[in-house]
Structure 1
């Protein structure tokens, strides 16, 4: 996190290659390259929403404004079919919950558990038959196969199961990398929403941690990502259509397999959609009252950004596009620094 793209670039210039003088397993073993040629127009892919949880109007608008700004700078933009975020999140859950989160939770000792990891750690704490029954009920009564699969994936694993999940992750990594950056699409970078919603109310993360799928997916396939603030929530432009929840229909995603990718039709998670855009469900109620989490009027003035995703080890290209986008968007009053949100809330529309 930094106050500007220039700060991000400076930090990378300092830390990249530092391993040569400060031995560390977490520092990149390559220096920050300053001699790369970015004089030619880039090919930039984008999608406005994934099929796990539909991006809110505010987050979709941020992508559209970013794409238009980059087109104005002479770059080629192309809308693409989004990757299967639910499948990538499932791999993340399988791997991270393999020991039942014992290692992660052991560091708490007597400290109180952070509410935001309640849902994350719930699966492994349940007996196997309760976990299976919960998934069945979600499938039958909520018609949400996506959420049921994710919840069922959160459990302790045997060593052989862990190896299988690890192999599946590496296969998905290879297949998706080849699809995005290889001969299929041959993109330089990809632009997409950071998450489905802008910042959500305090406490709502207790049951809405799955919203992080939009960012966790890129950790699974080891892509460098930069986030640039683009706009602010506008109560009129970003209001939710009255029939939003009725528009939940299957759509195409790119699902990575062992040797290739396939396009499949999937439906967003109905439980999470109802939680963020409706009044919630008995099983997933983020707020104290049955009201939508996304409210453009209450969120007025909140910053909204986009993700710029790049090919592994091409961090310099990601930062370059961050610079270009930040410049192309120009001044975005009231800005994104201290007091900007309060100034925006006080403004009239």
Structure 2
């Protein structure tokens, strides 16, 4: 049941807010048992708030707001008063609970939502998997040997498992989109500057070249749209400095023909067979609906890798290294942090060594850059995770660099015929072959991109693809407890 459907049933008094909170607390517990997706359970405050909302509705016959009684989940790094935000840093394990709440959470509270849990993150928030030494490893609900992605991996695992109808993640390079793609759910990264980001929470306070944004994550496009609409309508209550924009429902409900470009491959790395098929299935679906869909090639995407990491680590990793000083490192970060600490002469040597041992494309991507920050970050996003994530991340973080809104729609699952061993030119290809092996059944999504401040267009196309290719109808997620359909 989608968040929109839940809210309709609460309004009709089919269910109460208390019933919904109890259900999702139980469902989230079951999800956590399988995936280790939760960091904190907010049972007492959630039930107390649900009782207040039910009493208000009974007394006044009016809802608090458009999200009245809806349970939601929140990524661990996002500030919420009286809860913990360690961002996966073991050295922050003894930090006090937060005394403030992020603007986006205040907006959701004002609209009537009820936070029930906070969810797992990777150490530093900068890796596309979810693992840290405080809460442990979060696994995919589809396959425990796989990752749900990162850095909003806890949110993705929880929502895909049916433990939350709607969640709030953050995205600085794909951190809501990668987990959504890995986990078979929906997500959207908005344009930086459209929504208030006050007290959102991110590791690198000193770097504003690329800023994190919040991103809704859910089980249906209508839930993503609801979240974005509420955030737009309510944000003046918490941040009057934001531009007075409105959510344009004429765009999201329009059915006129569009001109759409599609990308099926990269200039520096061959996309997996399942991802190529997913794109073409979406293309065919859009063409059947009367849209003009044309092949588009992203020029010099490999250069964007260098630019992104140069911007992201503009302080030469000083903040990250200071946070990691004298603390144990998660295994996925150990090599990366070790490389961050070496001097520039050794960094150039490392670049040459990477080329010699088979990381030719790593070296080529970074050959024009003299500092360590890009070389090491590229290593981090590929080798340290033991999977081919660089190609994936390049296709997501590009839209953080140029500040375009981007959404993810699940389309299909990997089929055996998609798994085609590629010629092993270097270690990237070897890693890709290892990852593709036994990947059948895992979810595959497509990314929808529009120009800045055109989130409505992203949502419109997401809706059309979801309607044409209803992924939730084939979800193999095991259902537990009660069925509220």
Could you say which TM-score interval applies, normalised by the shorter chain? 0.5 to 0.7
Residue 119 of structure 1, CA deviation: 5.6
State whether structure 2 residue 435 is matched by structure 1 residue 293.
yes
Q: Which residue of 2 aligns with 1:309?
A: 449
Aligned residue number for residue 155 of structure 1: 372
2:397 & 2:351 partners in 1: Cα distance?
Answer: 22
Does residue 229 of structure 1 match 2:390? no
Q: Which residue of structure 2 aligns with residue 238 of structure 1?
A: 418
* Structure 1: gaps (5+ residues): 158-199, 249-269, 278-291, 341-349
Matching residue of 1:325:
465
Does the CA-based 8 Å contact 1:41-1:74 persist in structure 2? Answer: yes
Compute the TM-score of the two structures, normalised by the length of structure 1: 0.64
Partners of 2:309 and 2:373 within 8 A in 1 = no
Q: Which residue of 1 aligns with 2:89?
A: none
Task: For CA contacts below 8 A with separation 6 or more, give which structure has more relative contact order.
Answer: 1
- Which residue of structure 1 lines up, in the alignment, with residue 199 of structure 2? none
Check the 8 A contact 1:116/1:205 in 2, yes or no: yes
Q: In structure 2, do the counterparts of structure 1 residues 14 and 339 end up closer, same or farther at CA, with 3 Å as the change threshold?
A: same
The count of aligned residue pairs is 253
Aligned to 1:80: 296
Compute the TM-score of the two structures, normalised by the length of structure 2. Answer: 0.47
**Radius of gyration: which is bigger?**
2
SS of equivalent to 1:62:
helix
Q: Is the 8 A contact 1:233 1:302 kept in 2?
A: yes
Question: Residue 478 of structure 2 is aligned with which of 325, 339, 345?
Answer: 339
Q: 1:300-322: CA deviations, max 9, x gaps?
A: 21100010111110000000000
Cα separation, partners in 2 of 1:115 and 1:49, compared to 1, 3 Å: farther
8 Å CA contact retained: 2:321, 2:337: no
- Among candidates 210, 220, 241, match of residue 401 of structure 2: 220
| 1:145 to partner: Cα distance | 4.6
SS in 2 for 1:245: coil
State the shift of 1:233 in Å: 0.8
| Counterparts of 2:446 and 2:310, CA distance in 1 | 27
Which of 102, 112, 124 is the aligned partner of 2:328?
112
Matched residues in 2 for 1:105 and 1:275: separation? Answer: 28
What SS is found at the alignment partner of 2:412?
strand
In structure 2, the residue matched to 1:46 is 262
Corresponding position of 2:34: none
8 Å Cα contact 1:98-1:155 kept in structure 2: no
Q: 1:56 to 1:107 in 2, by over 3 A?
A: same
Q: Which residue of 2 aligns with 1:31?
A: 246
Offset at residue 89 of structure 1 (A): 1.5
Retained in 1: the 8 A contact 2:411–2:470? no
Q: Structure 1 residues 139 and 156 mapped into 2: Cα distance closer, same or farther (>3 Å)?
A: closer
* RMSD after superposition: 3.1
Contact 1:93 1:150 in 2 (8 A): no
CA-CA distance at 1:206 after TM superposition: 5.2
